[in-house]
Chain A
């Protein structure tokens, strides 16, 4: 099994880099690339205390699998990929996304990691609501999935 894609209910379970490292470990791989995204304490000058992630679960998992398979086909068919994303209320410092890639060489490992991150942002139905220190909250703008009209 070379692929692990999960949406983690962050109030019940943590995203673990140790689990990711164990998953991608292989004697066949000369490179491991790990990207960790965390909830940060500031956005556009506002003090952020937490982010709530909402997700269309089934569509997210479908998109994760499709993105990872695209990445493997594009860069390294034998790559091992671990992808987890948070769902629910995540305070500042919490891991929101973890992508770990084990590949034969560093170039492919870096490229797959970057490719997955950018595609998740553009394909996976996940939404962020920021919670601010002043008690306000706001859904963040994003990328529209509305099909383009044919001309």
Chain B
């Protein structure tokens, strides 16, 4: 299955586009997305910028609500990655 990850803040370094398509095994959850992100960051040599991102980011569903690590993803689901925030 595949999901679309909308990128915000520091995670925008992961792609030139606003979203990143991620291939996942069927019935994957958010925890799996964190694992895949760790791999992508390593493959793209972005550890110096994004090493902590997989463990510190939150994820929003399409309803803009934070989802837990055991949240089951659906094929073609659109979710947002929310790196640590700091406005003001």
A residues with CB within 8 A of B: 37, 53-56, 58-60, 62, 85, 96-97, 117, 120-129, 139-147, 149
Contact = CB atoms under 8 A, between A and B. Distances in A.
Contacts of A125: 8, 60, 82, 85
B57 A56 contact: no
Contacts of A141: 84, 86
B64 A126 contact: no
Main secondary structure of the interface of B (DSSP, over half): mixed
Q: Range of interface residues on chain B? A: 20 to 34
Contact of B85 (A62, A124, A147, A149): A124
Contacts, number: 86
Contact of B87 (A126, A129, A144, A147): A126
Given A59-B60, A140-B86, A127 B9 contact: yes
B56 interface: yes
Main secondary structure of the interface of A (DSSP, over half): mixed
Given A139-B10, A146-B56, A121 B64 contact: no
A9 B51 CA distance: 30
A149 B10 CA distance: 24
Instruction: In the A-B complex, list the 4 residue pairs whose CB atoms are closest, starting with the nearest.
Output: A126-B87, A142-B86, A127-B9, A139-B10
Interface of B: 8-10, 12-13, 49, 55-58, 60, 64, 66, 68-69, 80, 82-88
A139 B57 contact: no
Nearest to B50: A139
B87 A120 contact: yes
A126 to B, nearest CB: 3
B58 A97 contact: no
Kindly name the residue among A120, A125, A126 whose own CB sees the greatest number of chain B CB atoms within 10 A.
A125
A145 B85 contact: yes
A149 B60 CA distance: 17
A62 B88 contact: no
A56 B8 contact: yes
11 contacts: A59-B60, A60-B87, A97-B87, A117-B88, A125-B60, A127-B9, A129-B9, A142-B86, A144-B58, A146-B55, A146-B56
